[in-house]
Amino acid sequence: MSFDSPIRDLETLLKDIDSGKIQLPDFQRPWKWDVDRIQSLLASIAKGFPVGVVMTLETGSDEVNFAVRPLSGAREPHTRPDFLLLDGQQRLTSLYQALFSEDPVDSCDPRGKVMKGYFYIRVAESIDPDMDMEDDAIFFVKEDRIVRTNFDRDIVGDYSDMEKEIAAGVFPLNKILDTSYTRKYSRLFHHSHPNSDDMLDEFFDGPLKQLSEYKVPVIELSNTTKREAVCTVFEKVNTGGVALNVFELLTATFAAGSADFRLNDDWTARKRKIVSLRPVLSGLENTDFLQAVSLLASRKRRLNYAGESEKVPGITCKRKDILKLSLDDYLEWADHLTDAFIWAGQFINNQFIFRHQDLPYRTQLVPLAAIRVALGTDADLQGVARLITRWYWSGVMGELYGGAVETRFARDLEEVEAWVGGASEPGTVAGASFNPDRLLTLRTRNSAAYKGIYALTMRGDVKDWVYNQKINQGSYQDFAIDIHHIFPQKWCEKAGIENTLVQSIVNKTPISSATNRFISAKAPSRYVGELALRAQISPEEMQESLTAHHIDVSHLLDDDFHAFFEDRRLRLLDLVGAAMGKPVLSYEQAGHDVFGHAEEDELDDLAASLSA
């Protein structure tokens, strides 16, 4: 990546904006500065203070081929730009509208209320060292150039023509670059304000000169800069502090290649369709979709490779590879992936995950959808579906999809497809493990493993205890199912049970809000019998319902928290092992005491509590 770092006249930059030589790439966000921020910027320039570096990108190459648009307030250009503005949009747009444009500045107040008008500078105040440039000299007036008070009943300032401006001793800042206006203003000001030559000279040689001759440092990136570098540079230097993702960059790239295609509009329609059918996927992001497109496009290149080199194209979805996608790549796979994500949503629902906030890993949807496209309808065959399910739960319970996982995405697509064809287990399946100690630290929905066990405990003939109906997608919504304590918190507190044990997922299970309210703070030995009466079923049926939640009812009837906890811990380990397709060694099986090889001091404390 090469670049120059010239110093440019502000006037030249504003003229280039006006002519269209400088425009915005379409991935830039809208201009949004309020009047107070613009006023502060103008004051800094009037005092000659530095206001930061501007960064531009030279056009004229395939790498720098984005849809473009003029800066807000600039006229619609009839030519392609020479440079794209990467950093400095807010400042240069503010300066263009305030110092160059004949139209009113189109801004807002700090609360977001629309404000249109002009900026002025008071001649005398701007050269008075006892006055503040921002608070006393520079000010904003509405577009009629009249200042009113007392609910607009009283006029306290009228700057609607040059004579009135001169009489008030103010200068319109959008005229500082207009030499004919400046000369006329000087001549009339002298007649209107005798003996004011020194003051006017000091104003022209001071604040006005600072504004009109201001210099701006510019970093000009060459048009050989790669798209990935553009994305990275924008993230690092953009003064708005908002990261640019590959979706926005491709939106501009695709729009440059086809005026009829808008990536954002296309994605919005696809997501609306996906979420309307599978609400659990409401958190799906546009970058997830592009990663899946990249996986499939690179997979196709790999399958079609006919070269003799040993370096076969890899399957990938890293940012640099996504930025190489063409519009044809996207259109080839977009419909297939839309259907595949809908399928993935149903797959997720079949795992008893019904809300997007209960989804262990959103990221795992990317390879899941790509696998569905690669396998086609074979993914629905019973044996194949069993393998995909095992792969899914290995990723969840092995907690393998946090952080940067693009390499795992690619490997899983290739290896799961091969596994279905008879090859060995994918690395995600073979390498996944679940540490029994982990159960003791799973207490909130912040971890994938917590969400995973929550979903696993709903599999099978699991019923709510009050409604006595099986938990499924319909009843989950209707009965407001959520994860709640088995031994109630307040009861445990009175019994002196260690709170970290009480909050563990071992002491939680999916039940309705009605059941949770019914249990309240009651002792388990009490609520077991009362639940049978409430649900109008026999004690035996209630015990079966409780047992389906992986609970030994005898421990509830004895109000024996520690025996319950130890028994259910082992049952949950069996549940996790069944989902992953491999046994999870209990502490005893692994040759450890009840808390095994845990190294945390907290686990030592929990061990002491359980053995009490």
Predicted confidence (pLDDT) per residue in 589-606, tens digit: 544 444 333 334 444 444
Does residue 286 sit in the same domain as residue 375? yes
Residue 348 forms part of a structural domain: yes
Do 69 and 26 meet the contact criterion of CB atoms below 8 Å apart? yes
307 within domain boundaries: yes
181 belongs to a structural domain: yes
Please give the sequence-ordered ranges of beta strands (E in DSSP) within 454-546, or none if there are none: 481-485, 508-512
Give me the pLDDT at residue 232, please: 65
Compute the distance between CA of residue 461 and CA of residue 224 in angstroms, rounded to an integer: 62
**Number of domains composing the chain:** 3
Is residue 121 assigned to a domain? Answer: yes
Domain that holds residue 509: 438-610
Which stretches of 94-246 are assigned E, i.e. beta strand?
Answer: 105-108, 114-122, 138-142, 146-149, 154-158, 170-172, 215-221
Please state whether beta strands 481-485 and 508-512 pair in parallel, antiparallel, or not at all (unpaired): antiparallel
Instruction: Tell whether 443 and 418 lie within a shared domain.
Output: no
Backbone angles phi, psi at 8, to 5 degrees: -110, 145
Of 415, 432, 449, the residue at which a domain comes to its end is 432
Residues 576 and 606 in one domain: yes
b/e sequence 362-396, b meaning 16+ C-beta within 10 Å: ebbbbbbbbbbbbbeeebeeeebeebbebbbbbbb
Residue 80 CB neighbours (<10 A): 12
Phi, psi of 106 (to 5 degrees): -105, 90
**Within this chain, do residues 423 and 452 fall inside the same structural domain, yes or no?**
no
Q: Where are the beta strands (DSSP E) in 15-82?
A: 22-25, 54-58, 68-69
Task: Classify residue 277: in a domain, yes or no.
Answer: yes
| pLDDT in the model for residue 257 | 66
Give the N- to C-terminal CA distance of the chain in Å, as an integer: 66
Residue whose entry in the numeric block shows the structure tokens 């493993």: 449
Over its C-alpha atoms, the chain yields an Rg (Å, rounded) of: 34
Cβ neighbours of residue 608 closer than 8 Å, sequence gap 6 or more: none
Indicate whether 99 belongs to any domain: no
Q: Output the pLDDT for position 309.
A: 67
pTM (predicted TM-score)? 0.71
φ/ψ of residue 372, rounded to 5 = -60, -40
Q: Domain check: are 513 and 602 in the same one?
A: yes
Q: Cα(608)–Cα(588) distance, rounded to whole angstroms?
A: 16
Dist. CA 170–CA 158, nearest whole Å: 11
CB 90 within 8 Å of CB 48? no
Decide if 56 is inside a domain: no
The answer to whether residue 24 sits within a structural domain is: no
- Maximum Cα–Cα distance for the chain, whole Å? 106
As given in the structure block, the two tokens for residue 401 are 């999809």
How many CB atoms are located within 10 Å of the residue 150 CB? 8
Same domain, 327 and 380: yes
Q: Please report, as a single letter, which amino acid is at residue 458.
A: M
Three-state SS at 22: strand
Let me know whether 378 and 508 are in one domain.
no
Asked if 527 and 518 count as a contact pair (C-beta separation under 8 A), the reply is yes
- CB burial string 176-203: b at 16+ within 10 A, e below: bbeeeebeebeeebeeebeebeebbebb
Same domain, 173 and 271: no
Q: Is 368 found in the same domain as 458?
A: no
- Of 432, 460, 486, the last residue of a domain is 432
pLDDT tens digits along 192-228: 888 777 899 999 999 999 999 999 999 888 888 777 7
Q: Choose one of 402, 432, 462: the last residue of a domain.
A: 432
Residues 461 and 393 in one domain: no
Same domain, residue pair 444 and 546 = yes
CA distances to 123, 131, 203, 409, 440 from 128, rounded to whole Å, are 9, 5, 10, 65, 70
Task: Mark the ranges of the chain whose per-residue pLDDT is less than 70.
Answer: 1-2, 231-245, 256-259, 308-310, 586-612
Six token digits for residue 43: 């004051």
Residues 464 and 492 in one domain: yes
